Structure 1
Amino acid sequence: MEYMLPVSFLILMSFFLLILKQLVPKYRSLPPGPRPWPVLGNIFQFGKKPHISLAEFAKIHGPLISVRLGTQLVVVASSPDTASEILKTQDRLLSVRSVPRIVTYELSVLDKHSIIWSSDLSNHWKFSRAFCHTHLFSPKAIKSQASLREKNVSEMIDFLNSRKGKTVKISEIVFGTILNTLGNLFFSKDLCQLDYEGNTSGIKHVIRKLVELGAMPNISDFYPVFDALDIQGLRKQTKIYQDQLFNVWNEIVKEKRQATSHCSSIKNQDFLDVMIHSGFSDLQINLFLIELIAGGSDTNTSTIEWAMAELLRNKDAMRKLQAELRGKIGGDDTITESNINDLPYLAACVKETLRIHPPTPLLIPHRAPETCKIMNYTIPKNSRLLVNVWLIGRDSNIWEDALSFKPERFLDSNVDFSGQDFEFIPFGSGRRICPGLPFARQEIHLILASLIHYFEWSLPNDEDPMKLDMEEKFGVTLQKEKSLLVVPI
């Protein structure tokens, strides 16, 4: 009892101070938004799909709004102009990340080694981005990886051939294919079996658990005063799964370090060889790999699953894509990256999927490191900044027949997802644009083209595709609520 009383008193006093702080507004020119409750803010107005709740708020209050999540002020951009203000006009100031409390590393470590979460965009971060660009994402690197991607996609096609006429969960097959592609790129070995159902010990399961944990509402983000307590145990669980993921490659790292110590150069280097030869510590390697593998697998899988679902529901689009593939590639020829780079309707289908189903609907949060102005509104220091690209992509003021899947809208359009067209920024823009975009473009195009070219597809029991459940599941990535089950023919 002597210990519990001070803790209880501290918690009560903390809540009392929170109430006082919120009842006395410090800034009078904040962006408009729904009226917050004392202490709680707008937490209970969010529901399970905050991107939709924020879209409803934007309809009422305008394209730049502010909401409160506990003590955290969140500013949300919901139009091309407001997105451009954050990601372009004030990119230099607002490129700082808002790091969720679930991240297990100290900010000083993230600033020095992380690509995603570093808030210090000076030499360390620039080096990390440049290193990844040179060895993974430059045009030369992407071209050199083509045969590796083709090999893993060929294995995916062989696997699906063995499942003809049987129901498969397409996200599992695609997820495994992408993980093995990344595994060969980083370690020169596969990371998983494509046939995954029921396995709760493999790398797929671990990555999915990390993604699930990252999407859970965290009391510590709303009330940082409770951060050290980790009330929900989210950071503890994250640490457990991170360590499991590190164990996947720790032995590989040891073996390669030993090989490097006996040899000054290694032929046919993979990315891990390059990192070791460049003097990376085990900590740097772990951070690089977990960000690249988790970030590169889940988002691309989600995009391909949504594309397949949309094509099944839109028979005209499916027929046009099949015709383009037959005309360009032929009936029996093998698909390679060289013969899918000039397929405008395939590219349009991918863009249309990303418009309606962006992989990260609110992008990764930014933070205001100091008080600033956006469109005459005050943005207080340490405010979190989000961009609702989900709403922008579905805005009927920007897109004709915005909720319909119409790849044709991109055929005679120069609009691209490279970060310059703010009506279409599924990968972000500015300094924080997704560094893996060149890899994602090639991987998504190659896998989707192969799935459509080599197979006809139906739903189990010949269900009507128009009755397909298209509900979304909000998380780190925007996934289908119900996984797509299909039959390859």
Structure 2
Amino acid sequence: MKLPSGPQPYPIIGNMFDLGQNPHRSIANLSKIYGPLMTLKLGSITIIVISSPQLAKEALQKHDQSFYGRATPAVSQVHGHDKVSMIWLPTTDIRWRVLRRICKNHMFSQQKLDETQVLRQESLRKLRDYMKDCCDFGRVVDVSSMACSISLNLITSSLFSRDLSQFDSGPNVFMDIVKALIQGVSTANIADYFPVFKFVDPQGIKRRAKAYVGKMFAILDDIISQRSEARRQDSALITNDILDVLLDFSQRSSESELPQNQIKHLLMDLILAGTEATAITVEWIMAELIRNPEKMAKARNELQTLIGSDKQVQESDISRLPYLNAVVKESIRLHPVGPLLIPHKAEVDLEMCGYLIPKNANVMVNVWAIGRDPRIWHNPERFEPERFLDGKIDFKGHDFELIPFGSGRRICPGLPLANRTVHLVVANMIHNFNWKLQGEKKPQELDMNDKFAFSLHKALPLQAIPIRLS
């Protein structure tokens, strides 16, 4: 049995030159030549790329038991994070199963999210106040930065009832740590493709990450210690946020199930992934709405008709806003946060479509290519939320035409919270506000180029001016 076809690799470096700076696009073009199941070599690593919903379903559903591993990048190994992180542990590990169960049943269940929504409303109030101030002074908003701040605040308010970012340009130690760690994870590391460099760290990525993880853990240790001490002194201080859930679980269960030392690793995963995914998604949605003012007007009209201009959008309102839901789906289709998902690792040799998928190969799904495939989507390059108004396709892992958060056991555990926060942030940004570009720039002139850095960022951060509606 042979490997799936693919471009001829160069000696030593493999197909690195074939990928360029935007590998999601380069891989999509290569798949048009070599098919939806393709082999690439990156250094010494074999990559199997999937670019069709049918094969994605086969890999992530039928062969889920075989693709349960992760190839842990060097940066994930600092402070032993890969040994306790739900992102990097194999799904066969009992610790992964415990963490997954805690996330699903205790942290991100509908009941728990309903209980913690009051914590997020305060963060959203601060967002609205900031936008009103910008309106009053005609200030240009860096939407990328604002989206990052509100995303961080929404996740930290849910986790431990604190906002750790502000919308002004003042110093923000925690945000700087978050951004530095996200950048470290997003930077291509030569040590991941050439094992000979694994212990050398030639780019210094691992060394810098170790320092920043240490700083984050110091802050999280302090938050956990303060909360634990407060709980010992007065049980009435229990806030019922996610940190309390984790401390309750750690104290009720055996220490081996959730050691308190592991809580900070889980919190870091949730903070980094939640901030990055929500911020990028919100920025792309706002860019598409500003570029398509008639779509923004339609979404705003739905909000004002169903919610009213004098009321604030609640989390319980999201299901009553079909056009807003369609806007979010359409933007995610065009601009998935992780265009290649986090690679799965084949733990055994297996066969797919008559080809060999070798043990230890990394298996990538190009969800960006699937989202723009003209055989699946009509006018795939156009922003048309109306295509989702029939409600037949969702992004929760069952419809493989749209799996930006993965599928199966490896689906993003924080998806229920991310789904709420993305809709809430966008709703608050357009409910009683219009947006325009600086100067005489027309909406159609907005630069929509992307930049691959593990996640899919806008190449030029979105800047716009909010206008309060009377």
What's the TM-score bracket when you normalise by the shorter of the two chains? over 0.9
* CA distance 1:450–1:260, shift in 2 (3 Å): closer
Any idea what SS the aligned residue of 1:300 has? helix
Q: Does 1:148 align with 2:126?
A: no
Any idea what SS the aligned residue of 1:278 has? helix
Instruction: Measure, in 2, the Cα distance between the counterparts of 1:405 and 1:219.
Output: 36
Q: Does 1:368 align with 2:346?
A: yes
Counterpart residue number, 1:444? 422
Counterpart residue number, 1:404? 382
Number of aligned pairs?
458
Counterpart residue number, 2:303? 325
Report if the CA contact (8 A) 1:66-1:75 is conserved: yes
Q: Which amino acid aligns with 2:351?
A: K
Any idea what SS the aligned residue of 1:378 has? strand
- 1:434 CA displacement: 0.7
- 1:282 CA displacement: 4.6
- The sequence identity of aligned pairs, in percent, is 39
Counterpart residue number, 1:347? 325
Counterpart residue number, 2:272? 294
Q: Does 1:99 align with 2:88?
A: no
Q: Which amino acid aligns with 2:434?
A: E
Any idea what SS the aligned residue of 1:152 has? helix
Which of the numbers 228, 236, 242 marks the counterpart of 2:213? 242
- 1:261 CA displacement: 4.2
Instruction: Measure, in 1, the Cα distance between the counterparts of 2:241 and 2:146.
Output: 24
Q: Does 1:380 align with 2:358?
A: yes
Instruction: Measure, in 1, the Cα distance between the counterparts of 2:374 and 2:332.
Output: 16
Any idea what SS the aligned residue of 2:302 has? helix
Match runs of 1:69-468 below 5 Å: 69-105=42-78, 110-111=82-83, 113-164=84-135, 165-196=138-169, 199=171, 202-262=173-233, 267-279=238-250, 280-468=258-446
Instruction: Measure, in 1, the Cα distance between the counterparts of 2:303 and 2:107.
Output: 28
Instruction: Measure, in 1, the Cα distance between the counterparts of 2:106 and 2:167.
Output: 27
Cα shift readout 1:303-353 (whole Å, capped 9, x = no counterpart): 111011111111221121111111101222222222332110000000000
Q: Which deviates further from its counterpart, 360-369 or 273-282?
A: 273-282
* CA distance 1:372–1:332, shift in 2 (3 Å): same
Any idea what SS the aligned residue of 1:66 has? strand
- 1:195 CA displacement: 1.3
Q: Which deviates further from its counterpart, 128-137 or 76-85?
A: 128-137
Q: Which deviates further from its counterpart, 290-299 or 456-465?
A: 456-465
Q: Which deviates further from its counterpart, 291-300 or 278-287?
A: 278-287
Report if the CA contact (8 A) 1:417-1:427 is conserved: yes
Q: Which amino acid aligns with 1:60?
A: I
Cα shift readout 1:420-444 (whole Å, capped 9, x = no counterpart): 1111111110110111111111111
- 1:487 CA displacement: 0.3
Report if the CA contact (8 A) 2:119-2:161 is conserved: no
Instruction: Measure, in 2, the Cα distance between the counterparts of 1:319 and 1:265.
Output: 46
Any idea what SS the aligned residue of 2:356 has? strand
Please, what is the CA RMSD of the aligned residues? 1.7
Instruction: Measure, in 2, the Cα distance between the counterparts of 1:435 and 1:216.
Output: 24
- 1:37 CA displacement: 0.7
Q: Which amino acid aligns with 1:481?
A: A
Q: Which deviates further from its counterpart, 261-270 or 475-484?
A: 261-270
* CA distance 1:196–1:121, shift in 2 (3 Å): farther
* CA distance 1:265–1:332, shift in 2 (3 Å): closer
Instruction: Measure, in 1, the Cα distance between the counterparts of 2:420 and 2:244.
Output: 23
* CA distance 1:265–1:134, shift in 2 (3 Å): farther
Report if the CA contact (8 A) 1:366-1:385 is conserved: yes
Instruction: Measure, in 2, the Cα distance between the counterparts of 1:321 and 1:417.
Output: 20
Instruction: Measure, in 1, the Cα distance between the counterparts of 2:425 and 2:329.
Output: 15
- 1:364 CA displacement: 0.7
- 1:106 CA displacement: 7.7
Q: Which amino acid aligns with 2:377?
A: W
Report if the CA contact (8 A) 2:344-2:364 is conserved: yes
* CA distance 1:119–1:310, shift in 2 (3 Å): same
Instruction: Measure, in 1, the Cα distance between the counterparts of 2:274 and 2:443.
Output: 29
Report if the CA contact (8 A) 2:293-2:443 is conserved: no
Q: Which amino acid aligns with 1:310?
A: E
Q: TM-score, normalised by structure 2?
A: 0.94
Q: Which deviates further from its counterpart, 388-397 or 126-135?
A: 126-135
Report if the CA contact (8 A) 1:260-1:277 is conserved: no
Q: TM-score, normalised by structure 1?
A: 0.90
Cα shift readout 1:188-222 (whole Å, capped 9, x = no counterpart): 2211112136x4x5222221221222122211111
- 1:118 CA displacement: 0.6
Which of the numbers 28, 32, 41 marks the counterpart of 1:68? 41
Q: Does 1:48 align with 2:26?
A: no
Counterpart residue number, 1:17? none
Largest Rg, 1 or 2:
1
Instruction: Measure, in 1, the Cα distance between the counterparts of 2:194 and 2:147.
Output: 38
Instruction: Measure, in 1, the Cα distance between the counterparts of 2:246 and 2:390.
Output: 42
- 1:278 CA displacement: 2.9
* Consecutive unaligned residues in structure 1, runs of 5 or more: 1-27
Any idea what SS the aligned residue of 1:229 has? coil
Report if the CA contact (8 A) 2:28-2:369 is conserved: yes
